[in-house]
């Protein structure tokens, strides 16, 4: 546990216990006062009753008063001990409960801080690697007294690749950081949208000899076409990256009860359960050796897709393909 | 001085290799943890530059631990893009000797390499090797004898650097090849003889006050001043 949180936990527990003790003391003193008045009154009444019964045998008025006092102080002592005992138990038991209560309160906070730390660490890695690559290449080139034009051109090309990669990553990070607000919601022809997206990526798919199939009836939905298009594009990009040459990518949309389900399915190598559980996390990347191109993005695409689908009041999930092959992404959008 | 670079980013690995070669180091680059561990255990490197995050079976930390448990004490300079204190501590505690956060200045990398490979007989703090009257400046790559400056080629510098780090020790030609030339160099024992001859022409021949490079017949060479 983080040191910050263990101190906070101790402080909170102490504060809770102090409050509890204060309430207990207040309550006990009230009980004690009420009870002792009651005791005095009862004992006095008893003495009066007693005197009435055997009045004539009592010779000494003082004797009876002393008897009464002894009896009532005895009862009060009894009361004090009992109250002290109850207080100790309540405060002791309360302290333990306060500890767990404070722990429970701090848990989500700590998880949030940890997630933030993880994000910073991952982001710094993703940002620093291309910068390191550029910096080292440039410095080494500048130290070379016999640098040729050819080598300089190679250096610039290599640097440009890194700049482009940083550019994409910056855009992705900004889009994640921005409070996602989808634009105008209007009636959208989903099947036409899917077809136009498929067409846009046709050339890239042909290059990897990946087939793209659109399976969709006339499905209409009130939604934001740009956001939906962006999600589908991210899913297609992923399929292109991970499905491998010669695979088939099927995109489609169906009505199901009060939802429209948009799906992007490939028949590539698929994902393990372990990988499946992480893919929507920011910066998560499956092993580089498993991508068809050998290269990777920054692990932000699916995180953005998830955020966008939430903004559309929908839900995105991934499941393994029917025969354990490939992955199917399902975007479930409510019909309003 | 031969250096192994274990780094999965091709561009960074190759740029470091190129930069180190320009400085007269023999550098080999490998791109996976498994290759890195195999190379480090197989060849007698003088320093390993090791990336912290590597794909596949062995990452940087695992490699350091494995090497140290095999009693391989080659100095290790760890590179990382993660700079949180726990990350750094974990790297150093695993057995790395130094830690450099990416992106780094190449000048600093070179300075740290000089520190990590500082020879036991290197008495001066200013990056110089000294053997009796012979001084080798590791930064300017010049030798000095009897207050005369001797210009050296990169390879001659590397060779003299290796010899001066092992004074009084008989070094075989294979040992010299292992520490002065990188893996890709196609080198024969004859080449070593040729470079030794060139070096003798520069540091021994012109001076009357004795010779430094001694031939030990049937074994190799020894660095020692003989009057």
The strand pairing partners of B173, in sequence order, are none
How far off is chain A from B2, nearest CA to CA, in Å?
18
| pLDDT higher than 80, residue A261 | yes
Name the residue with higher pLDDT: B227 or B69: B69
Confidence at residue A190, expressed as pLDDT on a 0 to 100 scale: 87
Q: Tell if the CB–CB gap between A132 and B9 is shorter than 8 Å.
A: yes
Tell me, yes or no, whether B122 lies in a domain. Answer: no
Same domain for A256 and A314, yes or no, is yes
Place of tokens 């390191």: A132
Q: Tell if the CB–CB gap between A129 and B102 is shorter than 8 Å.
A: yes
Ranges of beta strands (E only) in chain A are 186-189, 211-216, 220-223, 248-256, 259-266, 315-320, 327-334
Confidence of residue B39 (pLDDT cuts 50, 70, 90): very high
Same domain for A190 and A138, yes or no, is no
Confidence at residue A295, expressed as pLDDT on a 0 to 100 scale: 52
CATH number at residue A128: 1.10.287.130
How far off is chain B from A133, nearest CA to CA, in Å?
5
Say which DSSP state A288 is in.
G
Same domain for A46 and A8, yes or no, is yes
Confidence of residue B45 (pLDDT cuts 50, 70, 90): very high
| pLDDT higher than 80, residue A208 | no
Same domain for B89 and B161, yes or no, is no
Same domain for B112 and B136, yes or no, is no
For chain A, what's the residue count? 336
How far off is chain B from A166, nearest CA to CA, in Å?
14
What separation in angstroms does the CA of A142 have from each of A80, B21, B107, B142, B172? 87, 14, 12, 21, 37
What separation in angstroms does the CA of A221 have from each of A187, A225, A260, A261, A307? 5, 10, 8, 11, 19
Question: What is the rounded average pLDDT of the residues B159-180?
Answer: 92
Question: What is the rounded average pLDDT of the residues A183-195?
Answer: 85
CB-CB neighbors (< 8 A) of A128 in chain B: 81, 101-103
Tell me, yes or no, whether B136 lies in a domain. Answer: yes
| pLDDT higher than 50, residue A41 | yes
Same domain for A210 and A301, yes or no, is yes
Q: Which of A313, A285, A278, A315 is nearest to A299 (CA)?
A: A285
Same domain for A8 and A79, yes or no, is yes
Confidence at residue A294, expressed as pLDDT on a 0 to 100 scale: 45
By the CB < 8 Å criterion, does B11 face chain A?
yes
* A65-74, B37-46, B53-62, B158-167: segment of lowest average pLDDT: A65-74
Q: Which of A12, A16, A10, A76 is nearest to A41 (CA)?
A: A76
Mutate one of A119, A140, A148, A298 to test the B interface: name it (highest B CB count within 10 A).
A140
Q: Tell if the CB–CB gap between B15 and A129 is shorter than 8 Å.
A: no
Contact between A252 and A263 under an 8 Å Cβ cutoff? The reply is yes
| pLDDT higher than 70, residue A110 | yes
Q: What is the mean pLDDT of chain A?
A: 83
Tell me, yes or no, whether B121 lies in a domain. Answer: no
Same domain for A159 and A195, yes or no, is no
CB-CB neighbors (< 8 A) of A137 in chain B: 11, 15
Q: Tell if the CB–CB gap between B104 and A132 is shorter than 8 Å.
A: yes
Q: CA B101, CA B84: separation in Å to the nearest integer?
A: 10
Q: Tell if the CB–CB gap between A136 and B12 is shorter than 8 Å.
A: yes
Confidence at residue B54, expressed as pLDDT on a 0 to 100 scale: 87
Q: Which of B129, B153, B182 is nearest to B21 (CA)?
A: B182
The strand pairing partners of A318, in sequence order, are A329
Place of tokens 């949208």: A193
Same domain for B169 and B75, yes or no, is no
Q: CA B116, CA A29: separation in Å to the nearest integer?
A: 72
Query: Which one of B66, B90, B116 terminates a domain?
Result: B116
| pLDDT higher than 60, residue B157 | yes
Show which of residues 21-50 on chain A sit within 8 Å of chain B, judged by CB atoms.
none
By the CB < 8 Å criterion, does B86 face chain A?
no
Q: Tell if the CB–CB gap between A133 and B9 is shorter than 8 Å.
A: yes
Q: Tell if the CB–CB gap between B18 and A125 is shorter than 8 Å.
A: no
Same domain for A10 and A78, yes or no, is yes
Range of the domain at B44: 2-116
**Interface ipTM:** 0.80
Number of folded domains in chain A? 3
CB-CB neighbors (< 8 A) of A129 in chain B: 9, 12, 81, 102
Q: Which of A256, A285, A274 is nearest to A126 (CA)?
A: A285
Q: CA A252, CA A218: separation in Å to the nearest integer?
A: 11
Contact between B2 and B180 under an 8 Å Cβ cutoff? The reply is yes
Same domain for A240 and A305, yes or no, is yes
Same domain for B75 and B98, yes or no, is yes
Same domain for A107 and A216, yes or no, is no
Q: Tell if the CB–CB gap between B11 and A133 is shorter than 8 Å.
A: yes
Same domain for A92 and A161, yes or no, is no
Rounded to 5°, the CA angle A269-A275-A276 comes to 85
| pLDDT higher than 70, residue B131 | yes
Q: Tell if the CB–CB gap between A125 and B106 is shorter than 8 Å.
A: no
- Selecting from B11, B18, B81 the residue whose C-beta is nearest the C-beta of A124 gives B81
Confidence of residue A50 (pLDDT cuts 50, 70, 90): low
Confidence of residue A119 (pLDDT cuts 50, 70, 90): confident
Range of the domain at A130: 119-177
Tell me, yes or no, whether B33 lies in a domain. Answer: yes
Mutate one of A116, A129, A148 to test the B interface: name it (highest B CB count within 10 A).
A129
CB-CB neighbors (< 8 A) of B107 in chain A: 139
Q: What percent of chain A has pLDDT over 70?
A: 89
Number of folded domains in chain B? 2
Query: Which one of A117, A147, A168 terminates a domain?
Result: A117
Place of tokens 């009532």: A72
| pLDDT higher than 70, residue A334 | yes
Same domain for B105 and B11, yes or no, is yes
* A19-33, A43-57, A157-171, A193-207: segment of lowest average pLDDT: A43-57
CB-CB neighbors (< 8 A) of B19 in chain A: 136, 139-140, 143
**Angle between helix A61-143 and A3-54 (nearest 10):** 170
By the CB < 8 Å criterion, does A137 face chain B?
yes
CA dihedral A264, A269, A272, A273 (to 10 degrees): 30
Q: CA B107, CA B112: separation in Å to the nearest integer?
A: 9
Confidence at residue A288, expressed as pLDDT on a 0 to 100 scale: 54
Q: Which helix (H) or strand (E) covers residue B48, if one does?
A: strand B47-51
How far off is chain B from A274, nearest CA to CA, in Å?
16
What separation in angstroms does the CA of B22 have from each of B18, B45, B51, B91? 6, 18, 21, 29
| CB neighbour burial string for B53-82, b if at least 16 within 10 angstroms, e if fewer | bbeeebbbbebbebbeeeebebbbbbbbbb
Contact between A74 and A111 under an 8 Å Cβ cutoff? The reply is no
By the CB < 8 Å criterion, does A288 face chain B?
yes
Closest-approach residue (CA) in chain B for A159: B11
| pLDDT higher than 70, residue A293 | no
| pLDDT higher than 60, residue A70 | yes
For chain B, what's the residue count? 227
Name the residue with higher pLDDT: A261 or A214: A261
Q: How many CB pairs under 8 A join A and B?
A: 66
Q: CA A67, CA A49: separation in Å to the nearest integer?
A: 14
Name the residue with higher pLDDT: A123 or A53: A123
Question: What is the rounded average pLDDT of the residues B152-169?
Answer: 92
Q: How many CA within 13 A on the CB side of residue A13?
A: 19
Same domain for B6 and B112, yes or no, is yes
Confidence of residue A292 (pLDDT cuts 50, 70, 90): very low
Query: Which one of A143, A177, A211 terminates a domain?
Result: A177
């Amino acid at each position: 546990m983080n040191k910050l949180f263990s101190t906070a936990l101790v402080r909170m527990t102490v504060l809770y216990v102090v409050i509890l003790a204060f309430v207990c003391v207040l309550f006990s003193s009230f009980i004690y006062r009420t009870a002792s008045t009651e005791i005095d009154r009862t004992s006095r009444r008893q003495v009066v009753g007693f005197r009435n019964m055997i009045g004539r045998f009592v010779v000494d008025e003082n004797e009876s008063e002393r008897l009464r006092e002894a009896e009532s102080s005895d009862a009060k002592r009894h009361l004090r001990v009992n109250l002290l005992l109850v207080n100790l138990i309540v405060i002791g038991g309360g302290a333990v409960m306060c500890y767990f209560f404070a722990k429970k309160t701090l848990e989500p906070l700590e998880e949030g801080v940890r997630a933030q730390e993880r994000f910073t660490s991952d982001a710094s890695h993703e940002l620093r690697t291309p910068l390191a690559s550029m910096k080292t290449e440039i410095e080494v080139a500048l130290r070379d007294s016999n640098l040729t034009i050819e080598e300089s051109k190679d250096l610039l090309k290599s640097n440009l690749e890194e700049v482009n990669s940083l550019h994409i990553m910056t855009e992705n990070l900004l889009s994640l950081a921005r409070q996602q607000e989808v634009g105008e919601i209007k009636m959208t022809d989903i099947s036409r949208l899917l077809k136009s997206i498929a067409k846009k990526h046709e050339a890239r798919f042909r290059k990897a000899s990946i087939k793209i199939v659109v399976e969709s009836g006339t499905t209409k939905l009130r939604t934001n076409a740009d956001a939906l298009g962006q999600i589908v594009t991210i899913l297609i990009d992923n399929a292109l990256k991970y499905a491998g040459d010669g695979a088939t990518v099927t995109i489609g949309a169906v009505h199901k009860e009060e939802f429209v389900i948009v799906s992007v399915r490939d028949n590539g190598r698929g994902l393990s359960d372990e990988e499946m559980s992480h893919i929507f996390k920011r910066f998560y990347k499956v092993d580089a050796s498993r991508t068809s191109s050998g290269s990777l993005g920054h692990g932000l695409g699916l995180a953005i897709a998830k955020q966008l689908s939430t903004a559309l009041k929908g839900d995105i999930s991934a499941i393994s393909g029917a025969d354990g092959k490939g992955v199917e992404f399902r975007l479930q959008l409510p019909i309003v | 001085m031969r250096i192994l670079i274990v780094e999965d980013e091709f561009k960074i690995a190759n740029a470091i290799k190129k930069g180190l070669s320009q400085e007269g180091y023999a550098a080999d680059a490998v791109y996976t943890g498994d290759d890195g561990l195999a190379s480090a255990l197989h060849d007698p490197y003088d320093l390993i530059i090791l990336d912290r995050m590597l794909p596949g079976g062995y990452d940087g930390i695992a490699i350091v631990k494995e090497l140290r448990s095999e009693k391989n004490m080659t100095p290790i300079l760890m590179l990382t893009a993660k700079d949180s204190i726990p990350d750094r501590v974990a790297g150093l505690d695993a057995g790395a000797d130094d830690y450099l956060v990416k992106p780094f200045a190449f000048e600093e990398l070179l300075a740290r390499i000089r520190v990590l490979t500082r020879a036991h007989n290197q008495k001066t703090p200013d990056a110089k090797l000294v053997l009796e009257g012979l001084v080798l400046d590791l930064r300017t790559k010049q030798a000095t004898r009897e207050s005369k400056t001797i210009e050296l080629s990169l390879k001659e510098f590397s060779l003299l650097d290796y010899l001066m780090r092992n004074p009084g020790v008989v070094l075989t030609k294979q040992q010299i090849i292992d520490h002065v030339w990188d893996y890709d160099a196609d080198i024969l024992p004859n080449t070593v003889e040729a470079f030794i001859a060139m070096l003798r022409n520069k540091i021994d021949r012109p001076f009357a006050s004795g010779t430094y490079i001694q031939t030990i017949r049937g074994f190799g060479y020894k660095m020692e001043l003989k009057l």
